[in-house]
Structure formats: structure tokens, C-alpha cells
Structure 1
Amino acid sequence: MELPLETVALFALKLAYETEGESPILRDDLVMGDYQRDVFELLVRRGDVETIQFKVDACVGLALEAIGGADKPLGRELQRLRAEFGSVQTMAQLGAPLIALEEYLKDIQ
């Protein structure tokens, strides 16, 4: 589960901060410091759903702003997926909404 969490953060932060013609954001960039796989691994081991949701919400929120907000077509879908991920209450429930977020962010890159 740690890899998809890191990937969601990476794709979201790419939308928020990456500009055309500049170096791409990579997993080892400073902006990814709080969103690296080992950080998520610790949270997953602890079963800390709330902190995982907080971290994902923060970077997805930045991506949502970057694509024009929830009033835009891409933003409406991202907001829906963000809300779905934020509504889960157990680690077992995180899987499907996480994969949906990951795939959507990958598609809109």
C-alpha cells in the first residue's frame, strides 16, 4: 500500500509544482520529503488512517488547485475521488479509493 500512497503524492505534487521545460519532480526531491514510501510505511504499520488521509488530502488539494478547482470538469472528478478516499475508516477500506485516485492522477498528467 505504501507505493500507491507515494505515487498519489508524486502525481499530485507534479500537477501542483511541475512546470513545462523544467526538471521533473522525482521521488527523491525535497518536495516529496513528507510523502516518501518509508513515511507511509510507518503510518500503514501503525494503522494510522487519519494521518494517511491528512497527507493525501494535502497533496491532492494542491493538485486540485492547480487544475482549476472543483468547478472544472477535471476538478469535479478529483474532488469526488478525494472525498471517497477521505470517507474510509479502516486500513482495509483504503485500497480501492487509493487505486482510483492513483489512476486518475496518472491519467490527467
Structure 2
Amino acid sequence: MELLLETVALFCLKLAYETEDSSPILRDDPIMSDYEREVFGLLVRKGDVETIQLKVDECVGLALEAIGGVDKPLGRELKRLAAEFASIQTMEKLEAPLIALKDYLKDIQ
């Protein structure tokens, strides 16, 4: 799950900050420091669903802004997927909506 969370954060930050004329954002970039696999791993081991959701929401907010907000079709779908993820209350049920979010972010890169 940690890798999946890190991937979602990476795709969000790529949408928000990566430009065609810049080098790509990678997992070991300083911008990823709050969203590293180890950070998420600690939260997963603690079962801290709320903090995981807050961290993902921060990243999704940046991505939403980068794609024009919820007034755009891409933004509406991203918001819907993020809301589905945010509504989950147990660690066991986080994976499916997280995969949907990751797949969507990958598709709109």
C-alpha cells in the first residue's frame, strides 16, 4: 500500500509542478519528502487512515488546481475519485479506491 500511496502523490505532484522544459519529478526529489514510501509506511503500520487521507487530499488539491479545478471534466472526475477515497474509514478498504485514483492520475499525465 505504501508504494501505491507514494505513486498517487508522485502523479499529483507531476501534474502540479512538472513542465515540458524541466527535468521530471522523481521519487527521490525533495518535493516528495513528505510523501515518501517510508512516511506512508509508518502511517499504514499505525493504521492512521485519517492522516493518509489528509496527505492524499493535499496532493490531489495541487493536481486539481493544475488541471483547472472541478469546473473542468478532468477535475470533476478527479474530485469524485478523491471523494470516494476520502469516504473510506478502514485500512482494509483503502486499496480499491486508491488504485482507481492512481490509474486515473496516470491516464491524465
Tell me if both proteins adopt one fold, taking TM over 0.5 as the criterion: yes
Give 1:76's aligned residue: 76
The unaligned stretches of length 5 or more in structure 2 are none
Partner AA of 1:79 in structure 2: K
Please give the TM-score of this superposition, normalised by the length of structure 1.
0.99
Q: Aligned equivalents of 1:96 and 1:19: distance in 2?
A: 30
RMSD, aligned CA: 0.4
| Equivalent position of 2:4 in the other structure | 4
Q: Find runs of 4+ consecutive structure 1 residues off by over 2 angstroms.
A: none
Residue type matched to 2:79 in 1?
Q
Question: TM-score normalized by structure 2?
Answer: 0.99
Partner of 2:61: 61
Q: Distance in 2 between matches of 1:71 and 1:87?
A: 22
CA distance in 2, matches of 1:30, 1:51: 21
Provide the rounded CA distance (Å) in 1 between the counterparts of 2:71 and 2:82: 14
Aligned residues: 109
Deviation string, structure 1 residues 25-64 (Cα, Å, up to 9, x no partner) = 0000011000000000000000000000000000011000
**1:87 equivalent in alignment to 2:87:** yes
Q: Deviations over 1:69-95 (max 9, x none)?
A: 001010000000010000000001101
Q: How far is 1:21 from its partner? A: 1.2
* CA–CA separation in structure 2 for the residues paired with 1:65 and 1:71: 10
Query: How far is the alpha carbon of 1:18 from its aligned partner?
Result: 0.4
